[in-house]
Structure 1
Amino acid sequence: MARAAYDADAATFGMDHIRTDKRRHTLAAALNHLGLHAEAVELLRQTLAHRGRALGEAHYFSLQTKISLGMALSHLGQHDEAIALLRETVDQRLRILGPDHSLTLVSSNSLANALSGAGRYAEAAQIHQQTFEARLAAFGPDDASVLQSKNNLARALDGMRQYNEAAAMFRETLRQRESVLGPDHPRTLDTRQNLARALFHLGQQAEPAALLRQTLEGRERAFGPGHTATLATREFLATVESGPTSGVFRRWRRRPDRATPNP
């Protein structure tokens, strides 16, 4: 539907019309959600170029597009370009809005997620800690953005192999998200799987398996059985249930960071 709307507006109004521009960005967001990051990147580059010309590089919509492009590139493993783009958005928003503005903190969160994706967990943890503290002071402990930062800080700690600290933070975030958002909200499901992963790295099996079964049921209801997130949970659950003597179990525990960030 998003692609059909974009094609129709492009044919009717032209590629540089504001309506076509909005449709292009919406289509790119849908492709990112489906895991089709390469196709999303192509559209986001076009959108960023158009918005830079029409609105200026520091305009809100230009910076939002730059963040989306940076995160899509991060998913594709193009870490250097992703981090450079996201660092630009942080610098621009710092100059325009200041360090504690909510939009500056959005940019900082995205940059830290990209650093985690590149395996630069210590740098990511430092930025996530600063973002978490600023959001906590501004919005209180149960605000969605505060819980986002707490999940992402725990993810960085998990990447640094500080599994006890990560598990404790994931568990607290899960309790809050279940209370605030409900047990089947996508963000709650992310945190539940992240907790399972940290516990798995601590050598546990029973609780991670139970958490993953609950996550799998929630993702099947929310996204369907064939969604990439559902498939990832099913694979992880099969690994945990295979037992510590299996080769796949041991290989998974040696894999790099797979905790789920909140963009």
Structure 2
Amino acid sequence: MNLSVIHINNVYKKYKGADVFSINNLSLEINKGEIYGLLGPNGAGKTTLISMLCGLLKPTSGQITIKGLSFKDNAKQIKQTIGVVPQEYALYPTLTAYENLMYFGAMYGLSGTDLKFKVTESLEHLGLSKFQNKKIRTFSGGMKRRVNLIAGILHQPEILFLDEPTVGVDVQSKNVIMEHLKMLNKNGTTIVYTSHHLNEAETFCSKVSIIDNGSIVASGTPKELMQNSTGANNLEDVFIQLTGEALRDYA
């Protein structure tokens, strides 16, 4: 039996001064152990939704619960069970990779030998050991992405939120990141992620929801969505059919 760990019920979000809702009556359940993709064009509401799921934004109305708990009453407890890897690098450029990770690990309550072991082990797993004493500002984009990922998973979260985890990285870094995420999921971590890389999502996700204008327009496994869309050979074809070909530039 699938166990729902994230429950979103009739959620709306409207930013102050905005004319329209960024999230519009959205309901969704995500089960334990899933790799769940939230896909959509620019401005569709993906980052807003992830930000609410992480407790960084409050819904205008509706309810979000993580493992049956709400941020209103149980924020501290929820934050101990989730990990967040933002699209922007959440790193200090003048500190080394090792110093950054020791700092973020301490923020999660880790300390001593346990923290040092987790930092060293994670740097090794993601191919960064020999650069651990180099300052982050000297790192390539792919290296920063890998350190960014480690910072979000040091405390071994049950649920991991990823916003564009492979944007702007080289192929080798992307492969290392995706393989590490698959290993985390195999070990029990539920993953919720956004991406513009539809080929990546097609092979990585156990289930996806396509979001447009703040609402879900389709949900299912990648295979189900392709079967239900006439002439679709891949997830990108499904995406274009559902969201159109118009440019989604916004500022």
- Per the normalisation by structure 1, the TM-score is 0.29
- Which structure's residues are more often strand, by fraction? 2
- Which structure's residues are more often helix, by fraction? 1
Structure with bigger gyration radius: 1
